[in-house]
Amino acid sequence: MATNPPKLKTKIAANERMKNLKETFESKYGESPLFYAFAPGRVNLIGEHIDYCGYSVLPMAIEQNILAAVSVNNSGKIQLANANPKYKDFSVSCSEEIAIDRDDPQWYYYFLCGVKGIQEKFGLNHLAGMSCVVDGTIPPSSGLSSSSALVCCSGLVTMEANQKSLSKVALAEICAKSERYIGTEGGGMDQSISFLAEAGTAKLIEFQPLRATDVKLPDGAVFVISNCCVEMNKAASSHYNIRVVECRIATKMLAQARGVDSSRLLKLAHVQMELKASLEEMLALVDEVLHPEPYSREEICKVLGITSEQFSTELLSANTQDMTQFKLHQRAKHVYGEAARVLQFKSVCDSEPANATRLLGELMNQSHASCRDLYECSCPELDQLVDICLAKDLLPWCIQTCSFLL
């Protein structure tokens, strides 16, 4: 795997999309782009909603991507335009503090997340002026990581425009952190696979430290990415962060039940490490400690010995302050079960049994059932799509788009 993002020479005339983007750029700014950058979207084969709990995931990049044409200048401004006319232009002064409106997650704020991340990494008091036109082929709000790909592309663009250099791992970590400026408390899978993906292989993405391992998929296996056409913008609602918060609270509750200092534990993986327990033992602990009925704020505060104010400031996010009910048993059960399925999925790929495709399909079916029933991050349209595929015995199906909370 290359350490730094590769720089490639491409004949624009031979690439219709880049040719069109170049013409749009020239029409918009009256000059030619200096360079182009792109970041791919991704589909997660298995490991749904567990990266922010500290567990490994198993995605692969897709051909659909975010592509940007860029020029660097002394205008003192960052000018942003989108090849799609439905998205409006935006500009910001290079000398002003970059402000990102969490309550209005427009496309350009995602771009500014990447800019801000690079600016803070290098302590840049004055950014290079840039003119950019962005083109995307990833369906928006479809669960294929269009927003994270935009943040990654922006980080790459800003690094290059300001003549800095970072490894792909460092870029992934910076972009994962900086996307949180928009309000989404993600775990880093999307940015990691966007930078660390390689042709012809899926990747096992592990965290702390971040690393990516090739996972060879079975010969002849076909993964169909199907879109149920229900859109969900993670930053535009609290649905995504609600699950993050519930897992955070479950972490505290499980640690408290076993006499572990929970003040420094924020992720379910941390509890497992502290207890030196297996995933199977953690699943049993969830059944023993957490009741299936929703928890109230008052009950959680009583168990953890904290005040209502501490609960709000230490456990909730800005957009989850109104939550009153928390399904801790179901969320923790999904996370530990899904973490085990990721390891099983990789084991099947590594051992290459004759029925590998069937085994992987069964694991993916279990993953969807858990997302639907325990994590409640599916929707009726997606469930119907899954049922249609199962009725036709199409396995393995990677039905990633559009899960309700992706």
203 or 240: which leads in pLDDT = 203
180 pLDDT band, cuts 50/70/90, is very high
CATH architecture for residues 12-215: 2-Layer Sandwich (3.30)
Counting every residue written for the chain, the total comes to: 406
For residues 151-158, give the mean pLDDT: 98
- Topology at the third CATH level for domain 234-392: de novo design (two linked rop proteins) (1.20.1440)
What pLDDT does residue 3 have?
A: 66
Per-residue pLDDT of 188-239, as tens digits, reads: 999 999 999 999 999 999 998 999 999 999 998 888 888 888 877 665 568 8
What pLDDT does residue 119 have?
A: 97
Mean pLDDT across the chain: 92
User: Reading across the β-sheet that carries 58-73, which strands appear in turn?
Assistant: 35-46, 58-73, 129-136, 77-82, 90-93
What pLDDT does residue 402 have?
A: 37
Kindly name the residue from 51, 135, 190, 383 that is annotated as catalytic.
190
Is a pLDDT exceeding 80 seen at residue 185? yes
Q: Decide: residue 401, CB within 10 A, 0-12 exposed, 13-18 middle, 19+ buried.
A: buried
- Domain residue ranges in the chain: 12-215, 234-392
Give, rounded to a whole angstrom, the gap between the first and last alpha carbons of the chain: 28
For residues 127-137, give the mean pLDDT: 97
Per-residue pLDDT of 244-262, as tens digits, reads: 999 999 999 999 999 999 9
190 is catalytic: yes
What pLDDT does residue 235 have?
A: 58
What pLDDT does residue 96 have?
A: 87
Tell me the DSSP string of 176-213: HHHGGGGT----SHHHHHHHH--TT-EEEEETTTTEEE
What pLDDT does residue 227 have?
A: 83
Is a pLDDT exceeding 60 seen at residue 65? yes
Is a pLDDT exceeding 90 seen at residue 322? yes
How many Cβ atoms are within 10 Å of 29's Cβ, its own excluded?
18
Per-residue pLDDT of 389-405, as tens digits, reads: 888 765 544 444 433 33
Is a pLDDT exceeding 60 seen at residue 289? yes
